[in-house]
Chain A
């Protein structure tokens, strides 16, 4: 036997090195997006200070002069860029002209409702998508499978906010079952559980809307990977051992079939945020999407720029976590030679 680090230690070392490389890459990407965002402002027609202050005449001449000095918009472009990037690195994205508050504060106040909505939707989409995918993979020719495939296609063809509006019409207006907007009712009591239940009720419609859209996609993916796994040798072995079909499917096969779904879901946080913006606007959910909508109404550029950078940050972190997570989960990738 030769001395030296155990295979386990080597693997950890390799994972660690990979993580550092990815981290550096992520920082570079975020920097590039920040530079790009500010360059967009600079390239836009009209005076940058005026655009920054809101094209709808949100600011007086004095204020615009103040912005010009504060953000150094009278200086050459590289200097302006450096100061914007420098400020952004410390979390300072300037002030919103309508709310007269720092952008970072505004966004931070709205970020948690969005994360709650996105994560709940993701949960619904993954859970529902995998169950549907497994179902259709086991009985590819059954009528129920065709129905599920069709519904998946439908879910994909409707504008997400329109699906939301239709659910709103049906469940809120006609059936009067669920609240139509916001995150909490005005009349709700102070108790923690009472509030949590109230938020849950408000969450059902928006999360289902967003979740349904992605459930369609995940059911397709998990169907394909399940079909692949069900044809593999180890599943045949499991069946030959005489295991119950239920155990073969849900314990042995599912574990591997679910990996592509989770990976894709992790890399789709950006798309979910995009969809969330539309869904939040429909249901007046007080998250980042709602803020973005208000910013558009007021042509409040600092908010939009700050949100673009902050949400890019969220996406990059999610991608990084997914990347690391699926390497840790899947031994085939973990032990693969780089």
Chain B
């Protein structure tokens, strides 16, 4: 038998390209081939750059009244018009974007951390630990999220920090369930059993062996949570529970809502900003998911 028909050699030849890369490199290779995900990534980077550098280049205070109230985009000097008080919509979008994204990223990070801390041990240890932790998860999952967040914000006051806390408080059960499932699956995998047989402590197995392997779905989940957090923050601000001292896209929507028939632009543009940001995040999340699980893509 000549060596070129040896299956191992054939597989090596096909995979040579992929082998040269690290797992992350390979994921990036898969991600790059996904046009929708790439579009999402470019959009997301553009939005981040705009919100980081935009306020430096376009120096208008989002709260200051700079024009006649209700100046439409076509009649004044302001590119996107002014709201019912005469505040610059574009300045609000740029500066507000910063805080909106910051809240979402912090809330997303915290949500994943809480979810991991509760769901991870539940899945790994099982038994009584699991039933207690999952009951706790259920307790937070059953009440309608927005009502729970509203109550927390009314009791503690609507500040940016409390917004982050309130969003994480209602979002973590989803991550906890996911982490539980992942840790449950991984605890019986051979390499985990091998580590256990070799005498590794539970803490070491949890943090060094299971966690890295559970990360891909958790990263995808984090992107979903961040997208959801933007929508949720907008919803809370719309209900009057945004931080009144800090401009966010949600606050812009909420404060201009009663004047929507006279100033459609002051409501339409912040909404579009949220829409494109969440869309970009979902596309990137889908792309990461596909990159880590190429088989699922067939669905």
Chain A residues packing against B (C-beta within 8 Å): 29, 32-33, 36-37, 40-41, 43-45, 51, 55, 153-154, 156-162, 165-166, 168-169, 173, 224, 227, 270-271, 273-274, 277-278, 281-282, 292-293, 295-297, 299, 301, 304-305, 307-308, 311-312, 315-316, 319
Contact = CB atoms under 8 A, between A and B. Distances in A.
Contact of A296 (B142, B143, B241): B241
A278 B154 contact: no
B145 interface: yes
How large, as a class, is the contact surface on chain B?
Answer: 35 or more
A162 B240 contact: no
Max count, chain B CB within 10 A of own CB: residue among A45, A55, A162, A282: A162
B271 to A, nearest CB: 4
Contacts of B155: 40-41, 43-45, 51, 301
Contact of A162 (B142, B156, B274): B274
A40 to B, nearest CB: 6
Contacts of B250: 159
B187 interface: no
A33 B143 contact: yes
Contacts of A41: 155
Contacts, number: 138
Interface of B: 135, 138-139, 141-148, 150-152, 154-156, 227, 231, 234-235, 238-241, 250, 253, 257, 260-261, 264, 267-268, 271, 274-276, 278-279, 282-283, 299
B296 to A, nearest CB: 10
Max count, chain A CB within 10 A of own CB: residue among B141, B146, B278, B299: B146
Nearest to A224: B299
The 9 closest A-B pairs by CB, nearest first: A44-B155, A162-B271, A157-B279, A274-B146, A157-B278, A273-B144, A274-B144, A159-B234, A158-B275
B154 A301 contact: yes
Contacts of B271: 158-159, 162, 165-166
Nearest to A156: B282
A315 B143 contact: yes
B35 to A, nearest CB: 12
A135 B238 CA distance: 36
A40 B279 contact: no
Q: Is the interface of A mostly helix, strand, loop or mixed?
A: helix
Contact of A157 (B151, B227, B238): B227
Nearest to B228: A156
A154 B235 contact: no
B151 A162 contact: no
Contacts of A301: 151, 154-155
Contact of A308 (B141, B147, B283, B299): B147
Contact of A274 (B145, B238, B260, B275): B145
Contacts of A270: 141-145
A304 B142 contact: no
B299 A227 contact: yes
